[in-house]
Amino acid sequence: MAIKVHGMAMSSCTARVLLCLHEKGVDYELVPVDVLERAHKQQHYLSLNPFGQLPAFEDGQLTLFESRSICRYLACKYKETGTDLLRSNCLKESAIVETWMEVEAHQFNAPIRTIVRQLILNPLSGLLPDEKLVEDEMEKLGKVLDVYEERLSKCKYLAGDYYTMADLHHFPYLVYFMRTPKAGAITSRPHVNAWWNDISSRPATVKVSEGLKPP
């Protein structure tokens, strides 16, 4: 039975899982979840993901949710296939990958998610962005990107001179962020910009980007 990803191609967290599947060259079925009909808050979907968020994932009898844990499962199951995303053959290398994955989760994700929601999702719902909130979050994101600029002056990717899950996890929100008037936060930092240009030109990211468009 094929792997099933329940979600939407335009959802950042769904895209994170799809990216991982493409890096591993693993077939999957994307099962659409109609969020406009609030299908993600109905009992069937809640039995897959009790938090009612996208995505959910099925591999035979195994059901998972939370995009980053699904990515990790795929990286472990298909360890010998495609891109080596966790560098788990070397404890030290994997520890550095894990550190930058945690940086994404605990430093980068919250501000960029808020900015993307305010500048891209709000207008789709006819709402004005909260400019003060965007500026506050841009200040936080800027401090994070300053650390990235320093880090990426020393190695090509966040965890070393190889592409890993740490880079992959950043991609979906960056796609949307780069379409906002705030994209200069990336392009004005030479090493961050070179990293962005590199990770966004991989076959997997090019493919998944096609779906990362608001309706």
Radius of gyration of the chain (CA): 17
Among 58, 66, 130, 198, binds a copy of itself (CB under 8 A): 66
Among 151, 156, 179, 191, binds a copy of itself (CB under 8 A): 151
Lookup: tokens for 98: 């894990």
Among 10, 35, 58, 73, binds a copy of itself (CB under 8 A): 73
Nearest residue (CB) to a copy of itself, 47 versus 201: 47
Nearest residue (CB) to a copy of itself, 62 versus 194: 62
Q: Is 94 in the site for a copy of itself (CB under 8 A)?
A: yes
Q: Is 11 in the site for a copy of itself (CB under 8 A)?
A: no
Nearest residue (CB) to a copy of itself, 69 versus 197: 69
CB 5 within 8 A of CB 14: yes
Q: Quickly list H helices, the chain.
A: 12-24, 43-48, 67-77, 91-103, 109-116, 122-124, 131-152, 165-177, 184-187, 190-199, 203-209
The site that binds a copy of itself (CB under 8 A) totals a number of residues, namely: 30
176 vs 86: CA distance, rounded Å: 25
Query: Which helix or strand (DSSP H or E) is residue 62 part of?
Result: strand 62-65
Q: Closest by alpha carbon to 30, among 208, 214, 199, 204?
A: 208
Q: Is 41 in the site for a copy of itself (CB under 8 A)?
A: no
Site of interaction with a copy of itself (CB under 8 A): 50-51, 62, 64-66, 68-69, 72-73, 76-77, 91-92, 94-96, 98-99, 101-103, 105-107, 110, 144, 147, 150-151
